[in-house]
Amino acid sequence: MKYLNKLSLIYMLCFCAGIMTLLSSCEDFLDRQEDEKMTFDKIWKNKGTTKQYWLNAMSFLPNFSGGYIGDNDPYLGASDECSIAYDRSYRLINFGSWNASNVPYYYMDKYYKGIRECNILMKYVYTCSDLTVTQEDMDEWYWQARFARAYYYFLMMQDYGPVFLLGDDLLDFMATTESLYRPRNTWDECVDYVVSEMTACANSDAILTQSAMAKLETKWGLATKGVCKAVISRLLLYSARDLFNGNTLYRNVKNPITPDFPELSGVNIFPQTYDAAKWLKAADAAKAVMDDGSYKLYRAGNNNPYEDYYGVTNVTWNSELIWTDRYNNRFYWAVGCKPTGTPGTAYGAVGPTQQQVDAYAMNNGIYPITGYEKNGSPIVDRASGYDKDKEFVKSTWSYPRKGWTKQTTDVNITSPNMYKDREPRFYVSVFFGDNDWYQGSVSRKISFVEGANGNQTHDHSKSGYLVNRFFDHTKNPDSDGWGNITFPLFRLGETYLNFIESVLECKKRGVAMPADYESLAMKVWADLRDRAGLKTITEAYPGASTDELIELCRRERRVELAFEKQRYFDTRTWMIAEQTDGGDMWGLNVSFLLPKGKDASYTPDEFWKRSLVETRIFKSNHYLYPFSQRELDRNRLLTQNYGW
């Protein structure tokens, strides 16, 4: 399975000083550059420089998980599932202090540079005159670049909605600035373009299946047919959801009147009529990934749901992964989740919100918290067995540590009932205070109150919890190293949830679908919950209506894909972010001062209190990124997104 994404190895080749000088991209996608025809012609006379140009075109693929959490993207820091102490740009989003002149994590120019480099490669690769280059070489470079080009568009569409499509146009940078103006294409045009491009890539003989790629070590990391299908699945799911399907909030977002682009002149950029049939397209696309047959839910084979779920993000190149964010050193993710007060380097700044903690089901499969009062107190489903009046009352119970730590037995702890009898994914994902942190054979009790061992620097957890999933608890970093991670960009568990949601929405809206779709959706949902050690959703919620099942699917998605950078897009495309991502974020009382004379691992009773972490701002214009003022000034046909 190692072939899934080792582009990090071959990308290094394209950054050597000589080739980057030779192939230097323009400063921005609408900037001019000097005509270097002779140098440019020489590229295609040699196999090595042609391949390096291809690698350059691929190098714009992001490596969001190759740095500290929050450094490269906002998708955890600006999500309601997480609170991060670092002073990074996601804070601009959380507190509504961003605008078109100050856009955090602005990658639009980078992706258009990548698109242009792909277009150049695709146009000239077959002119390579080196006698040692083969048809197979050129086909591979062409089709992988074509995949990357479509993927760059997909990445922009997640953040900005519809963008402007260049097709195969190289843009003449010797032309006037006015001649380079481009209006945005409509959302449906952008979707159709990316889907058609990804479909063409999936159907090409030059794009291999996963099983074929696995046998060719030198090709590890290239896009497979399954990757192309997975991109289509997620894009069509987003396209069916409320943000992009008849969203009247965007009814006045139109292109300017322009005679140069009559087909786009004055048109609505976002579709204004709800199309329920988009849900069937999303269901079909998810099923195409499932039918690929190359992937299966990861199970270690020991009948241990803790080990099975933990393995999704801790067993590299496992059977569930469709595409990953490269093969990265785990340090950059793990160190942010490792509490201070443990041996070695630790920043301990990345913590789940109380809302995310509350999202996990009980071990009977029922979600205990159904909402909140204005003061932050939970509204509880009594059938779950959760008692909100006793949530911080301590009792002694068995803490499950077998399967995700080096320990071979579980252990009794005395801890609040809030954390007792929760589903396996909770213990794998969330670390709570007054508990032992495990790293290899070493463990240490952690307290998060001010002055305690887990709260000694400005980077301490603001919520009183830490993300547990991405630290390898079987290793001690001081002696064993941090290990590596293949962070999932696309995996089969997500595809199952895509399919379930789409099928349920089809049923709700009366969209005709194949006869077996509903039973298949319930089957894969049962498989997903079985892997998590839970009864089926219909056993936990007998008689649930279709609307209730849709809501339960959303809950399942929040838990199953926790901290995988999907929640950020889910709340936005469902158009619930004004309720979930704005307002009060809760945690525990980390500001309570450790009493004098107490050990640094001591947790006083005053810590166990639902406490305000921060109050965030999410307005209706925040669903999509603004285009930067610089791009608006340089492209006078570019329509700004709503509210910016």
Identify the pLDDT of residue 178: 85
| H or E element, residue 394 | strand 394-399
Cα 111 from Cα 162, distance rounded (Å)? 14
Condensed to tens digits (0 to 9), the pLDDT of residues 385-411 reads: 999 999 999 999 999 999 999 999 999
Domain 7-62+107-273 maps to which CATH number in 1.10.10, 1.25.40, 3.20.20, 1.20.1550?
Answer: 1.25.40
Looking at the chain, the domain(s) classified CATH 1.25.40 span 7-62+107-273
For residue 109, the model assigns a pLDDT of 94
**For residue 176, what pLDDT is reported?**
82
pLDDT tens digits along 137-185: 999 999 999 999 999 999 999 999 999 999 999 877 677 888 889 999 9
Supply φ then ψ for residue 362, to 5 degrees: -80, 170
Question: For the chain, what is the mean pLDDT?
Answer: 93
Q: Which residues contact 327 (CB under 8 A, 6 or more apart)?
A: 2, 5, 6, 8, 9, 316, 484, 485, 486
pLDDT in tens, 278-308: 999 999 999 999 999 999 999 999 999 999 9
Task: Give me the pLDDT at residue 509, please.
Answer: 98
Q: pLDDT by residue (tens digit) across 106-126?
A: 999 999 999 999 999 999 999
pLDDT of residue 66: 92
- pLDDT by residue (tens digit) across 542-576? 999 999 999 999 999 999 999 999 999 999 999 99
3-state secondary structure of 615: strand
This prediction has a pTM of 0.94
586 phi and psi angles, rounded to 5 deg: -110, 155
Q: Give the pLDDT score at 9.
A: 34
Q: What are 202-258's pLDDT values in tens digits? A: 999 999 998 888 788 788 778 999 999 999 999 999 999 999 999 999 999 999 999
Distances (CA, A) of 93 to 111, 141, 350, 618: 21, 38, 17, 8
Task: Answer left, alpha or beta for residue 96, where phi above 0 means left and psi between -120 and 50 means alpha.
Answer: left
**Rounded Cα gap, residues 177 and 543, in angstroms:** 62
Closest CA to 57 of 139, 141, 155: 141
pLDDT tens digits for 19-29? 333 333 333 33
Beta bridge partners of 416: 394
Whether residue 16 has pLDDT greater than 60: no
Q: What is the pLDDT of residue 545?
A: 98
Q: Which pLDDT band holds residue 32 (cuts at 50, 70, 90)?
A: very low
DSSP conformation letters of 286-354: HHHHHHT-S------SSS-HHHHHHHHHHSTT-TTEEEES-SEETHHHHHHHSPTTSSS-----EEE-H
pLDDT of res. 497: 99
Residue 1: predicted pLDDT: 38
pLDDT, tens only, 449-499? 999 999 998 889 999 999 999 999 999 999 999 999 999 999 999 999 999
85: tokens are 């102490």
Q: Measured between alpha carbons, how far is 538 from 543 in angstroms, rounded to an integer?
A: 7
The percentage of the chain sitting over the pLDDT mark of 90, rounded to a whole number, equals 88
Give the mean model confidence (pLDDT) for residues 603-613: 98
| Calpha distance 127→135 (Å, rounded) | 11
pLDDT confidence of residue 458: 87
CA-CA distance, 508 to 437, in Å (whole number)?
Answer: 45
pLDDT higher than threshold 80 for residue 2: no
Average pLDDT over residues 271-275: 98
Q: What is the pLDDT averaged over residues 71-87? A: 96
138, 47 in Cβ contact below 8 A?
no
